[in-house]
Structure 1
Amino acid sequence: MLLRLPGVYPPQEDTWLLADALAAERLGRDSRVLDLCTGTGALSLRAAAIGARYVTAVDISRRAVVTTQLNAILHRHSIRVIQGDLTTPVQDQRFDVVISNPPYVPAHDDVLPTRGVERAWDAGVDGRVLLDRICTHAPRVLAESGVLLIAQSVLSGIEKTQSMLEEQGLSVEVVARAEIPFGRVLSARAALFEARGLIAPGQRTEEIVVLRAAKPSLDKEVM
Structure 2
Amino acid sequence: MHQLQLQSEVITSLHSTPDTPVYPAPVQHSAWMGLQTEAQQVEWLILHFNRWFSHLNVTLIRGNAEPEYFPATSDRPARIQFAHGFFNSALHEISHWSIAGDKRRQLADLGYWYTPDGRTAEQQQLFEQVEVKPQAIEWLFATAFGRKFRVSLDNLTGEGSDGSAFKNNVHAQVQRYLNGQTKLPRDARYFIACVCACTRDDRPLQSHEFRREMLD
TM-score, structure 1 length as denominator?
0.29
- Name the structure where strand makes up a greater proportion of residues: 1
TM-score, structure 2 length as denominator?
0.29
Higher relative contact order (CA 8 A, sep 6+): 2
